[in-house]
Structure 1
Amino acid sequence: LGKWLEDEYTARGVKILKGDLVTEFLGEGGAVTGVQLKSGGTLPCNVAVVGVGASPNVEFCSGLTMDKGGFAVDGSMRTSDPNVYAIGDVCAFPSTFGGTSRCEHVDHARKSAKQAVLAAMGQSPEAYKYLPYFYSRLFEYTDKPIVFNFFGDESGECKVCSRGEKSIGAIWVKDGKVTGALLMGSPGPSADDQAKLRDMVAAQPSELDPR
C-alpha cells in the first residue's frame, strides 16, 4: 500500500524524503526560507507545514475509567460515571470485533454524539454498534484526485490485491476472518463499491481470496 501511494505522489510531482529528520527551520526577516536536514541537505521554501499529530484531552475528567487512551464507555456512550458521556476521539467504545475501539474520524464523532444525546434524553437507544469507517481525498482539487475508503479494524495481517492500474485494494485478516478492507484509487471507489466493502466487513466472513 505504501509503495503504491508513494508512486502516486511521485507521479504528481511530490518528492518524498525517507529516513531523514528536520533539525532546524531557516529564516530571514521573520519568514521561513528553508529547512535544514540531519543528513546535511537544505530544502528551500517559503512555507513549512508541520504535522505533529494530536492526543485526546482527557486530563479534565481524571478519575474516570480509561481504555486505549480514552474514556471507557458503554453502548450508550456513558463513562464509569453514569452522569458523564464521552463521544468522538476521546471515547473507547465496545467493538464489534470484541474488546474496545477508539476511532478518530468525523463519521464516528457524529454517530456517537447522536447515541449519547438519545441516551441522555432517556430514550434508551440500542447499544452502539459502529463499524469503524475512514475516508480521505488526496489531491482533491486537482485533475487526478486519490480517494480511499476503509471499513473495519486494521489489526491482523494485511493482504494487498491490485484492482487495476490506478487503484488498489486490501483486506485485513485475523483468526481466519476478514476484519478490515480498503479501496483506494484515482478516481476513487464508487458508491456501490463502498457499500459492498462495508457489508462484507460487517459480516466478518472467512478469509477471502484477495485476487
Structure 2
Amino acid sequence: MVSSPRVRNTLTLFSSLDCVVCHRVRLVLAAKGVTYDMVAVDPAKPPDELVEVNPYHSVPTLVERDLVLYSASVVSEYLDERYPHPPLMPVDPLSRARLRLSMLRLEHDWVPQVQAIQAGNKTQSDAARKKLREHLLATLPLFKASKFFLNTEMSLADCAVAPIIWRLPQLGVSLPKDAKAIEDYGARIFRSPGFARSLTAEERAYRDGVA
C-alpha cells in the first residue's frame, strides 16, 4: 500500500505508472501488506535520485535505507524473505525451483512481447501480440491444473503472471473460448484486495469496474 506523502517509510519504490514488471513488485508489496513510498518514474526521464542509486536507471528499484535493489525478480525474492508472512514461495526446493524457472521463462518470453506491443510500431506490435497469445495458449494446461500458477497457494509466480493477464484487453490480445481457464484464473486474483491496492490509476483504467 502506498503511504500518505506526509509519512516517510523505510521502503521507497521507484516505479513506472504503467510497467508490467513494476506492477509485479507492487503486487508483491500489496500481498504482504507492506507500506512504502512510491516515486513515479518516467523511464525516458529518470529522476536524479534514481540515477544516483541505480547504474542502469531502471525500474523497479527498491531502496531500504542503505540497500538498493533492482530487477523485478531480485526485488520480489528479497521482499518475500524480508517480510515472510504470507510466504509467496513453497517450502520444498523442487517446487521453488519450478516456480523460479517459470518466472524466468515469463521474463524471457512473455514480458518482451508485452513491451513490444506497447512500444513497437504496428508490424512489431502485431507480431508480439501473436507470440504472446501463443505463449498463453501453450501454458493453458497449467492454468487448468491448479487454482494458482504451479502452486496451490498464491506465489511470486502469480505476482508475475497476473499483471500480464490484467493487461490483455489493453494489449489487444483476445483468447478463444476454450482458454476460459486463463480469464478465470485472472478473475480470482483480480478480486483480491491486494491486487486492487497494487494498481495505479493508469492500470486500473484497463478494466474499469473489475478491481
TM range (shorter): under 0.3
Give the TM-score normalised by structure 2: 0.26
Question: Which of 1 and 2 has greater Rg?
Answer: 1
Give the TM-score normalised by structure 1: 0.26
Q: Which structure is higher in helix share?
A: 2
Determine which structure has greater relative contact order: mean sequence separation of CA pairs < 8 Å that are 6+ residues apart, divided by chain length: 2
